[in-house]
Amino acid sequence: MNIKKRIDKIPGGLMLVPLFAGAMLNTFFPGTGAYFGTFTNGLMHGVLPILAVWFFCIGASISFKATGTVLKKSGVLVVTKILVAWCVGMIAAQLLPAGGITTGFFAGFSVLTIVAAMDMTNGGLYASIMNQYGTKEEEGAFILMSVESGPLVTMLILGTSGVATFQPHLFVGALLPFIVGFILGNLDKDLKEFFTAGVVIMIPFFGFALGNGIDLRVLLETGFAGVLLGVGVIIITGIPLILADKYIGKGDGTAGIAASSTAGAAVATPFLIAEMAPEFKEIAPMASALVATSIVVTSILVPIVTAYYSKWAKSKKVGKTYEEQC
């Protein structure tokens, strides 16, 4: 039936298709998990243990022996993305109510929503784009983008902006599976190869579990606002990323715009944060719906924008070289 091939044609489909399947199930048959119980309920609502395994596998997949060029390029992009999200979070904390906006067109917008959409890059999307428009070193820059995966960076931004308070042991707990995986993966190449396979395998499972926490009616209510959020992520993070790539990473800016997406894993962040900070439980479903829309929007637009930008950047470079030769 070529189900996998059809899913692969959808931007972020491996995560988004199961997510929307879970959301449909939760919207029309909300008691399914509780009715069947045991393993079925665990598969439908076990977001935390599934993501814990996923973070562990991501850690194991990252090699300590990366080249300096790759680390420099990825470091510039990751730090820039985090700093932009932090600045936007600080500003939003002053402008938005503590519980976010609950009514009107911007319903669901909160510091949590905005930061979750901006502070993580879709590493897989970035790698595939740079495979076509960048160098091998630029393609390999997704190596550190995996470090952004998970709620840690969002916790740090929310904590420093004064929106939420987290106990120190919660920060350690959020990072520990990743660290253990990283250590084991670098100690034994066979373990690295074994656990790396789990990175892709776990994606549809946590997508489905996340979907079972989303009501599609909420997603429809936040649809246009989610599109606005996605476009905002590309513009607000894309411009600083282009500048950082050109003037610090010594690229032409293509890698910067390719990194201006919302990561698929970001849809889990509001739920994970709400587990540690109960004050976010009420807005978590709407925040996740907005972030999910942003993932779709950026997954579609970033490759298109990057293609046009790359063509323009290469034409400028050729023109400059010609002028210099004359």
Q: Are 108 and 101 within 8 A, CB to CB?
A: yes
Query: Length of the chain, please?
Result: 326
Q: Report how far residue 186's alpha carbon sits from residue 184's, in angstroms, rounded to the nearest whole number.
A: 5
Long-range pairs of 163-171 with CB within 8 A, sequence gap ≥ 24: 163/89, 163/93, 163/98, 163/111, 163/112, 164/273, 164/277, 164/279, 164/280, 165/277, 166/276, 166/277, 170/276
Q: Report pLDDT for 218.
A: 63
pLDDT for 114 equals: 93
Which pLDDT belongs to residue 141?
Answer: 64
pTM of the model: 0.72
Residue-by-residue pLDDT tens, the chain, 326 positions: 788 888 877 756 777 788 788 888 988 998 899 999 999 999 998 877 887 888 788 788 877 766 566 667 778 888 999 999 999 999 999 998 877 887 777 878 899 999 999 988 877 678 767 777 876 666 566 666 766 666 778 888 888 877 777 777 776 777 788 889 989 999 999 999 999 888 788 878 877 887 787 777 766 666 788 889 999 999 999 999 999 999 998 888 999 999 999 887 788 888 888 888 888 888 888 888 888 888 878 877 888 898 889 889 888 775 454 444 44
Q: Is 283 exposed, middle or buried (0-12, 13-18, 19+ CB in 10 A)?
A: buried
pLDDT value at residue 4:
87
What is the helix (H) or strand (E) element at residue 230, kind and residue range?
A: helix 223-247
**CATH among 1.10.1060, 2.40.160, 1.20.1530, 1.10.3470 for 8-317:** 1.20.1530
Structure tokens at 138: 């630029």
